[in-house]
C-alpha cells in the first residue's frame, strides 16, 4: 500500500446496540495511507464504537475496507494485525499475560513468526516505547503510564500498517502523556487517534474528524477546525484550560 492510497474506507456504516440505541448513523470516512487523523467528539458520539467496527470486533451494516483487504457486515473476520493494530483505552483490557514479554510476544506468535524473530520484535518494541528490559516484569505492578506504553508496544510488535488508539492520553500524568506523544510522533504508518484531548492530539495529527450522534459533523485540517471556537462549543469539544500547543513546542 503506497502513501496516498486509501488505508481506511468506510461507507454508510450503521451500528445499533441491543437496546436500539444508534451509535453510528450512515457514517462514512476515508483515510489515506500515512495520514494522522484525530477523531473527536462528545461522550456517546460513537468514536469507540467506530474503532471496534474497524477492528472487526463489532459488526454493523455498511462497507468497511481496512488496508489491502476489506470486510463488511457479511464477513465477521477482523483485519490482519499486521495491517490494523488497535490500542484499547484501558490497558488492563489488553494486557493479560503473566509478564510484559509474554504480552508483547502474543501478537507476533499468533502471526506464526519464528521464536527468534518474536524475541527480536519484543525487544525492539519495548525499546521504542522507552521500556527496554521490561520483559520479565509483571504488567499488573506497573504504573498506568507504563501499562499504556506496554499496550502500544504489544501492537507495534505486530508491525501494523495502521495503528488506532482509543484515548491514548487518558488518566496519564504529564510525563507519561509526553512519552506517549513521542511514541506516536515516531510511528510512520497511518494513525487514527480517538481522543477528547486535543491539547496533545494537535501534536501528532494533521486532520480532525469531528463526530456527534454517530455522524461526521466536520472534517478538515486540525489547526483550522480548532480555531473555530463556536464549532467546538456546539459539539462539546474543548481544550480545558490553557491554549493548545503547536507542533514542535514540546
Q: Which domains does the chain have, with CATH numbers?
A: 1-79+201-237 (3.40.50.300)
For position 78, what pLDDT does the model report?
Answer: 56
For position 79, what pLDDT does the model report?
Answer: 61
Cα 173 off chain centre by: 19
Q: How far is CA 151 from CA 62, 85, 101, 179, 182, in A?
A: 30, 11, 11, 13, 15
For position 244, what pLDDT does the model report?
Answer: 53
Gyration radius of the chain's alpha carbons: 18
Which of 138, 229, 130, 133 has its CA nearest to residue 182?
Answer: 130
Q: Provide the total of helices (H) and of strands (E) in the chain, helices listed first.
A: 8, 10
Residue 92 near residue 161 (C-beta atoms within 8 A): no
For position 237, what pLDDT does the model report?
Answer: 84
Cα 151 off chain centre by: 11
For position 8, what pLDDT does the model report?
Answer: 94
For position 82, what pLDDT does the model report?
Answer: 73
Which of 238, 157, 153 has its CA nearest to residue 199?
Answer: 238
For position 4, what pLDDT does the model report?
Answer: 57
Which residues of the chain fall short of a pLDDT of 50? 1, 72-76, 240-243
Q: Beta partners for 207? A: 37, 221
Residue 54 near residue 45 (C-beta atoms within 8 A): no
For position 73, what pLDDT does the model report?
Answer: 46
User: What sign has the CA pseudo-torsion 198, 204, 210, 215?
Assistant: negative
For position 95, what pLDDT does the model report?
Answer: 92
Amino acid at each position: 500500500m503506497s502513501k496516498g492510497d486509501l488505508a481506511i474506507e468506510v461507507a454508510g456504516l450503521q451500528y445499533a446496540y441491543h437496546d436500539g440505541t444508534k451509535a453510528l448513523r450512515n457514517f462514512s470516512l476515508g483515510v489515506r495511507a500515512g495520514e494522522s487523523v484525530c477523531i473527536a467528539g462528545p461522550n456517546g458520539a460513537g468514536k469507540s464504537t467506530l474503532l471496534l467496527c474497524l477492528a472487526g470486533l463489532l459488526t454493523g451494516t455498511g462497507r468497511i475496507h481496512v488496508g489491502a483487504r476489506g470486510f463488511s457486515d457479511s464477513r465477521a473476520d477482523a483485519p490482519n494485525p499486521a495491517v490494523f493494530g488497535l490500542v484499547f483505552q484501558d490497558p488492563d483490557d489488553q494486557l493479560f499475560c503473566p509478564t510484559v514479554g509474554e504480552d508483547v510476544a502474543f501478537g507476533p506468535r499468533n502471526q506464526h513468526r519464528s521464536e527468534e524473530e518474536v524475541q527480536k520484535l519484543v525487544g525492539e518494541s519495548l525499546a521504542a516505547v522507552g521500556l527496554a528490559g521490561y520483559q520479565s516484569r509483571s504488567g499488573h505492578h506497573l504504573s498506568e503510564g507504563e501499562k499504556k506504553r506496554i499496550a502500544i508496544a504489544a501492537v507495534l510488535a505486530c508491525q501494523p500498517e495502521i495503528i488506532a488508539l482509543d484515548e491514548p492520553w487518558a488518566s496519564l500524568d504529564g510525563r507519561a502523556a509526553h512519552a506517549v506523544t513521542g511514541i506516536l510522533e515516531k510511528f510512520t504508518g497511518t494513525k487514527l487517534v480517538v481522543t477528547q484531548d486535543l491539547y496533545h492530539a494537535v501534536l501528532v495529527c494533521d486532520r480532525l474528524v469531528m463526530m456527534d450522534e454517530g455522524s461526521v459533523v466536520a472534517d478538515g485540517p486540525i489547526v483550522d477546525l480548532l480555531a473555530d471556537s463556536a464549532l467546538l462549543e456546539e459539539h462539546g469539544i474543548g481544550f480545558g484550560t490553557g491554549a493548545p500547543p503547536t507542533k514542535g513546542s514540546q
